[in-house]
Amino acid sequence: MDMDTLQCMRIFAKVAAEGGFAAAARKLNLTTSVTSRAVSYLESHLGSRLLHRTTRNTALTEAGERYLHRCRQILASIDEAQAEASSARQHPSGCLRVHALSSFGHHLVVPAVLRYQEQFDSLRVELTLSGTLPDMLEEGYDVSIVVAPELPDSELVSVRLGSIPGIICASPRYVADHGEPRTPEDLRAHHCLQLATPVFPFNKWMFSGSDVPFAVDIGAPRYAVNVIEALEPAVRSGLGIGILPAGVALPGLTSGSLVRVLRGYDVQPVVAHALYQSRRFVDAKIRTWIAFLREGLPATFEADNRALAAIEEAP
């Protein structure tokens, strides 16, 4: 009979602890014949007798005593590993490895990580900001935060975190020196500054049309960079016109160091997604991080939209 060795070890340890097959069977809710066959299986598998059996009691052989000692060590380690794995599904623990595209990571993900760790101070977080999309399985990431007009095809689970409007901005000095574009096509005659990432089309700006989005070719950008934090100062300094997320543009629009151009045209919004590998048996660290993002980021985006609307309505 092919029996599970680990289960047989558990039965053998219980027989040794209870001093007999019948007592062990009652504790394990098994029949006496099943407990007896389990020990016989181990003895046959090992080629060594583990118990001396009489009609009245059982006693460990010398080999049985040594084997019992090892069984208890093995079973304790397995129980500990199962408890840790089960706890990981209930309570955040260990290290959460997060990847985010550097284009938006500083603005969105870094503050979220800091707030998350305030709630779960026993959890370690490793955050990687890069300009490329990772192979999550190969590189060992738990979650990747991607901000893009559209997600690339993959087998990863995707959770939508919210939509981020883009604001076309320039400095007052640039508008005074070069004039203000009236239509998206006018951008071809201006200095356009480009956010260059793997998920954004290079040399093209996407607008939301009445029916379908349309693209405007801006030509070779005067300045291209892969992080928003390096794009905003260039726009503010008067180098050219750029598309900024609402949250990044707000301080400049409030202070007057930035002005909004092409107000009648909406840039196609980008969407923030959290990507992870499986829907089944998700660790608590991943589950709580995703829930934290789903609660926090949409509120951030909504606050940005309200602040932007207030600026637009101000005299």
Per the structure block, which two tokens stand in for 278?
């499986």
Q: At what angle do helices 21-28 and 32-46 cross, to 10 degrees?
A: 110
Residues 242 and 293 in one domain: no
How does DSSP assign 84-136, residue by residue?
HHHHHHHS--SEEEEEEEHHHIIIIIHHHHHHHHHH-TTSEEEEEEESS---H
Domain boundary among 90, 108, 138: 90
pLDDT given for residue 2 in this prediction = 47
Give 281's pLDDT tier (boundaries 50, 70, 90): low
Same domain, 156 and 275: yes
Q: Looking at the 3D structure of the chain, how many domains does it have?
A: 3
pLDDT of residue 210: 63
Mean pLDDT, residues 157-181 taken together = 91
Average pLDDT value over all residues in the chain: 85
CATH of the domain at 257: 3.40.190.290
More confident residue, 311 or 103: 311
Q: Which domain covers residue 121, as residue numbers?
A: 95-164+271-311
pTM of the model: 0.65
**For residue 99, what is the domain's CATH number?**
3.40.190.10
In terms of domains, do 127 and 244 share one? no
Whether residues 261 and 144 share a domain: the answer is no
Both 242 and 174 in one domain: the answer is yes
The one-letter amino acid at 116: Y
Q: What pLDDT, on the 0 to 100 scale, is given for residue 84?
A: 61
Residues 111 and 175 in one domain: no
- Give the model's pLDDT for residue 305: 84
Residues 177 and 234 in one domain: yes
Which pLDDT score, from 0 to 100, does residue 173 have? Answer: 95
| Confidence (pLDDT) at 171 | 95
Note whether 57 and 39 are same-domain residues.
Answer: yes
- Shared domain for 171 and 263, answered yes or no, is yes
pLDDT, tens only, 14-57 = 998 888 898 889 988 899 899 999 999 988 888 989 998 876 77
Considering the domain architecture, whether residues 212 and 241 belong to the same structural domain is answered as yes
Average pLDDT rounded to a whole number, residues 262-274: 85
The answer, yes or no, to whether residue 155 has pLDDT greater than 90, is no
Of the residues 90, 124, 146, the one at which a domain ends: 90
Model pLDDT, residue 252: 93
User: Taking residues 235-255, what's their average pLDDT?
Assistant: 92
Same-domain pairing of 178 and 148: no
